[in-house]
Amino acid sequence: MKKFVILALAALFSGSALAMHCPADMKKIDAALAASPKLSEAQMSEVKQLRADGEAQHKAGKHQESVDTLGKAMKILGI
């Protein structure tokens, strides 16, 4: 029983930690986009699409997917 409670708490906290990570990543991306990064049109389009997809995944509760998607955008932006 003790192990179950510990595992349940760990799952709860890891999910909420990821949920908090998504908005922070979105803010970083938004700030980088506001600084007019030197990207090609294709890269800019991809970053904006990844940003939108990451936000949609976050809102759908798919936080790990959101973090992964936003990470791709941040990599293109060099952040």
Per-residue pLDDT tens digits for 45-71? 999 999 999 999 999 999 999 999 999
pTM of the model: 0.76
Residue 50 CB partners (closer than 8 Å, separation 6+): 69, 70, 72, 73, 76
Q: Are 34 and 57 in contact (CB under 8 A)?
A: no
Q: In which band, very low, low, confident or very high, does the pLDDT at 21 lie, cut at 50, 70 and 90? A: confident
Domain map (residue ranges) of the chain? 2-77
Would you state the pLDDT for residue 18? 54
For the chain, what percent of residues have pLDDT higher than 70? 76
Beta strands in 1-79 (DSSP E): none
| Dist. CA 2–CA 17, nearest whole Å | 23
Query: Is residue 3 predicted with pLDDT exceeding 70?
Result: no
